């Protein structure tokens, strides 16, 4: 599956939503770790213990001898079988985990791989074959990027809108773009947006490819809901 991943749906700064929908569809083929990623609930393997209860929550699975320490013969056999079954299921889960890791990594564009190389959380997840953390970290890193990249793109598109048909169609186009723009810059509907934000987008948009490293650094930072200041970006560029 990882060898045939659709190149049009690779994870990149401007393709997070498309990537997320596609990767979650593919993860439906993996019943354990894939489901954990899709539901947002990490899978925690639970090895059997001598104190396990049945599903009703009150009846013990295993019983002790009179000494209260040693399992009786039948329970010891059942517990040993449970441990053996768990070990086999862990092998299958690790195989599934490895396949998902391969699928996720194959779904990253070169741009995404470059951004994630310096992300400590991602490196740790990749080194331990933790597919849940690989997915979560990669998506979070690019969702942070999207807030700036999409805002910049939306701003540029706003300046390209012209009235080519009816006035109603013209204003509809403006209002649709404004909804996207407001969701990024004014999620609380305060009606205010710092002028500094506009000129930060203008500055970054006009930089040539010679500044690619600086721009990628800006995109990979955790913005924590704060838009980068014009003066700070200016200092990084100069």
Question: Degrees (nearest 5) of the Cα angle 230, 152, 225?
Answer: 65
Q: Tokens for 129, please give them.
A: 């074959």
Q: What is the mean pLDDT of residues 79-90?
A: 96
147 has a pLDDT exceeding 90 = no
pLDDT in tens, 85-129: 999 999 999 999 999 999 999 999 998 998 888 788 899 999 999
Averaged pLDDT, 27-31: 94
Q: What is the pLDDT of residue 46?
A: 92
CA dihedral over 219, 220, 222, 228, signed as positive or negative: negative
List 64's β-bridge partners, or say none: 71
With contact defined as beta carbons under 8 Å apart, do 205 and 152 qualify? yes
Q: What is the DSSP secondary structure assignment for residue 119, as one 8-state letter? A: -
pLDDT of residue 81: 96
Residue 238 and residue 229: Cα distance in Å, rounded?
A: 14
pLDDT more than 90, % of the chain: 37
Q: Does pTM surpass 0.85?
A: no
pLDDT of residue 210: 84
Predicted confidence at residue 89, as pLDDT, reads 95
Q: Looking at the predicted structure, is the pLDDT value of residue 194 above 90?
A: no
Check residue 135 and give its pLDDT: 95
Tokens 């009703």 belong to residue: 56
pLDDT of residue 188 exceeding 70: no
**Residue 14 DSSP one-character state:** T
Q: Which of 34-48, 150-164, 171-185 has the lowest mean pLDDT?
A: 171-185
Read off the tokens for 134.
């690989």
Q: Give the per-residue pLDDT at 223.
A: 56
**pLDDT score of 225 more than 60:** no
Q: Using CA atoms, how far apart are residues 121 and 135, in angstroms rounded to an integer?
A: 11
Residues 6+ apart with CB under 8 A from 216: 111, 114, 115
Average of per-residue pLDDT values in the chain: 84
């Amino acid at each position: 599956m990882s060898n045939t991943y659709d190149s049009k749906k690779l994870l990149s700064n401007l393709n997070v939503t498309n990537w997320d929908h596609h990767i979650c569809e593919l993860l439906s083929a993996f019943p354990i770790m894939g489901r954990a990623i899709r539901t947002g609930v990490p899978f925690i393997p639970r090895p059997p213990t001598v104190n396990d209860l049945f599903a009703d929550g009150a009846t013990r699975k295993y019983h002790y001898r009179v000494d209260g320490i040693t399992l009786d013969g039948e329970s010891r056999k059942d517990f040993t079988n449970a441990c053996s079954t768990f070990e086999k299921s862990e092998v299958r889960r690790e195989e599934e985990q490895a396949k998902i890791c391969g699928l996720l990594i194959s779904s990253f564009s070169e741009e995404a791989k470059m951004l994630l190389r310096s992300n400590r959380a991602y490196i740790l997840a990749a080194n331990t074959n933790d597919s849940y953390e690989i997915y979560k970290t990669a998506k979070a890193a690019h969702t942070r990027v999207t807030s700036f990249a999409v805002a910049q793109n939306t701003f540029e598109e706003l300046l390209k809108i012209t009235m080519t048909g009816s006035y109603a169609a013209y204003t509809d186009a403006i209002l649709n773009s404004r909804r996207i723009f407001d969701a990024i810059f004014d999620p609380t509907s305060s009606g205010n947006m710092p002028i500094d934000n506009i000129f930060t987008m203008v500055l970054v948009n006009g930089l040539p490819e010679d500044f690619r490293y600086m721009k990628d650094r800006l995109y990979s930072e955790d913005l924590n809901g704060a838009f980068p200041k014009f003066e700070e970006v200016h200092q990084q560029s100069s």
